[in-house]
Each structure stands twice: as structure tokens, then as C-alpha cells.
Amino acid sequence: MEGNPRPTASSSDVKFEIGHVLFIDIVGYSKLVTSEQRRLLELLNRIVRECEHFRAAEAKGRLIIVPTGDGMALVFYNTPEAPVECALEVSSAASKHPELKLRMGIHSGPVSGVVDVSGRSNIAGAGINLAQRVMDCGDAGHILVSKHAADDLEQYDRCRPLLHELGPCAVKHGVRIDIANLYSDEVGNPDLPKKLQALKKHRIHVRWAEATIALLALATVAAAFLYVLRRPTRSLSSIAEKSIAVLPFENLSEDKANAYFAEGIQDEILSAYPRSPT
């Protein structure tokens, strides 16, 4: 698919504008044989060209088409709603061809015209890059939207009920972007993307690990507290047991018969307070 004819510009003429980008990708394209790749790409091109919003933007010169090998990027310059409407049309038409598995990403951001190596006008910029990263978070059937674009689309009655916030998704270079899933009962994919499923499982494992560590720490503190609490009682008991000493009684009277009496008292005391084991 070729881009719209535009005057060739030099690098000094490059100007940034806010573009509303729809990035489309054929899932599993690289694993297909060459003939099947060509057939599916031609089918995608035909579906896109038959979309009402695509043709309307193209007729007004408010659209740039960038082929990407296994799909395309469409940059609309009219309204943030345009790429959404086009995505819904493409998704609906593609559902009639099960062999054509698409995923899409939408973002509004700065884009600029550039001149490629062949001297033809092309497009680049953060708007294109982020739209591709948003798309990369999805699986077949997903139409994902960046949070920035979703905030703009909340102002449109048609789009608001179709947006379902998903939260952050990890992309290249450790960057995380907040995204939303765009779907209805007829189009889109309501399932949580696999990348976010993996992130969700990782968070659950981290929370379980944190909870386990907290419980172990609490158990350690409780055990230490009980040890300290019980230790004085055992110490006092030990002191109490060892504080009684009975020495042999000595008969100091002149009457030798009293010696038996002294020994009897000694035996009574020892019987009442048995010795602690040594």
C-alpha cells in the first residue's frame, strides 16, 4: 500500500504536528509462507481501503499511510475519533476472514514528515513509535488505546462505552505505558492481553512473598516476646528452688538423748522441702 502523494521535503522543512495514529499488524505474519503473507497483506489493504473513515480522510488530504511490511500505520489529522472508527470498521470486516488475525494500537502524539532514502515523503515521530508499542501489548483481535488517546476519546459518546482501562503494560527498554482496551459485543477482543496476564501473576506472586515475609517476621517477634516474657518466671523459680539450704543440726545440749531429737527435725525439714536435682 502506497502513501498519499506529497511534495518531497528536505529535512530542514520537517514540522511536527499532532497526529492520531492507528497501527495495524498481522499476527504471526513472519511464520507464514511467502504466498500466504502476500495474500493476507492484499486482503488487509483491501479491507482498509473500503473503510468509510479511511476514504473520507484520504479524500480531504488528512491521512498519511505508512506501510510496515506486516501491516501499516495510518495517521489521521482530522479528529481523535477517526482512527477508532476506522479500527472498528477494519475489525468488523476482518472477523469475516478468520485466517486474518489482526491487532491494533491507537495513540495521539507528535508526528513529522520525513524524506526516506528513496526521496519520498514518509512519517516518523513519537506518535508513531508509541502507537506501535501500544499495539505490541495486545494479541490477535485486540484494539488497544494509549491512556492519552483514551482521555481524548472519553469526550465522544460513541467511544466512551467501548473503552475499558487495563492499567500499565511493560514495553521496550523497561518503559511502562497505561493502556485501555477498546471493544464491544461485536468487535475487538475483551480478553486480558497475555502480557498483562503475566504482569498480574507476577504481582500476585510478589504480594504472596511479601505476605509470607511479614508473617514470618511477626512470628519471630511473637516468639521473642514470649521467650522474654517467660524467662523471668523460670529464673525466679530457679532462684527460689536453690535458695533453701539445710545444714546438719548439732546437739549443743549436755543431754545426749537430744541428738535424736535434732536429727528428727532435720529429717522433717528435708521431707517438706525435697532437694532439687543437680
- Pairing label, strands 143-146, 176-182: antiparallel
Q: What are 130's three cell numbers?
A: 508509541
Least confident of 176-180, 225-229, 259-263: 259-263
Question: What pLDDT does 200 receive?
Answer: 59
Quote the percentage of the chain above a pLDDT of 70.
Answer: 69
**Section 237-243 average pLDDT:** 52
CA distances from 16 to 4, 43, 47, 82, 172 (A): 18, 32, 29, 19, 24
Give the model's confidence band at 5: pLDDT under 50 very low, under 70 low, under 90 confident, else very high. very low
Q: Which residues pair with 66 in a beta bridge?
A: 73
The predicted-structure confidence for 118-169, as pLDDT tens digits, reads as follows 666 677 888 999 999 999 999 999 999 999 999 999 999 989 999 999 999 9
Distance CA 184, CA 144 (A): 13
Q: What is the dihedral angle through the alpha carbons of 191, 42, 17, 122, rounded to the nearest 10 degrees?
A: 140
For 12-190, CATH number out of 3.10.20.740, 3.40.50.1970, 3.30.70.1230, 3.90.420.10 equals 3.30.70.1230
pLDDT(100) > 90: yes
Question: What pLDDT does 134 receive?
Answer: 96
Which is nearest to 102 in space by CA: 63, 59, 145, 71?
71
The predicted-structure confidence for 17-65, as pLDDT tens digits, reads as follows 899 999 999 999 999 999 999 999 999 999 999 999 999 999 998 898 8
Domain ranges of the chain: 12-190, 204-272
Distance CA 230, CA 211 (A): 28
Angle 200-201-202 (CA atoms, 0-180°, nearest 5)?
90
Q: What are 27's three cell numbers?
A: 499476527
Which is nearest to 25 in space by CA: 111, 137, 187, 170?
137
How much is the pTM?
Answer: 0.67
